[in-house]
Amino acid sequence: MSHPRRRVLCAEPHEDTCHLIEILLGRQGHEVVSAKTIHDCIELACETHFDLYMLDDDYIDGTAIELCKRLREMTPETPILFFSAQAFKRDREMAMSAGASAYLTKPDDLFEIVQTVNSILTGKRTQRDASDAEKP
């Protein structure tokens, strides 16, 4: 299924993970721009428009929660997807409270990235989002 070309900022300190995301989303026609630090991510977000931000756990210059809050202040309408190694419910809740639109865990949800990104960008809720919303 073809989707309109969208710009994704992949804030991921691990080059190999970001390269894999570039391949997966590139096959869908999306352009992926990489940032390894919070500073680089904020700088890129100030310079140009992105349709989606993808965040890792932690960076050498801060945490993903801090970055999420800053991006949410800068561009409240831009969706934020966490792709995190932190799999605890508390981590997911903190990310969602900070402004995340969705949360996937590494490496288990690797192949859900494309579906989740396309669902977020088309305004559809993913199956996981719907089931999480139903939980108390």
Break the chain into its structural domains and give their ranges.
1-18+32-100
- pLDDT over threshold 50, residue 69: yes
The pTM for the full model equals: 0.85
- pLDDT over threshold 90, residue 5: no
Q: Does domain 1-18+32-100 have CATH number 3.40.50.2300?
A: yes
Grade residue 86 by pLDDT with cuts at 50, 70 and 90.
Answer: confident
Q: Which helix (H) or strand (E) holds 26?
A: helix 15-26
The Cα–Cα gap between 105 and 127 comes to: 15
The Cα–Cα gap between 77 and 101 comes to: 10
> Which residue in this structure is represented by tokens 């904020």?
42
Between 86 and 135, where is the model more confident?
Answer: 86
> Which residue in this structure is represented by tokens 């680089």?
40
Between 46 and 108, where is the model more confident?
Answer: 46
Grade residue 51 by pLDDT with cuts at 50, 70 and 90.
Answer: very high
Q: Which of 4-13, 48-57, 107-116 has the highest mean pLDDT?
A: 48-57
The Cα–Cα gap between 119 and 125 comes to: 6
Closest CA to 12 of 42, 48, 49, 38: 38
Give the model's pLDDT for residue 130. Answer: 38
In terms of C-beta density within 10 A (0-12 exposed, 13-18 middle, 19 or more buried), how is residue 118 classed? middle
CA distances from 46 to 18, 71, 89 (A): 21, 10, 31
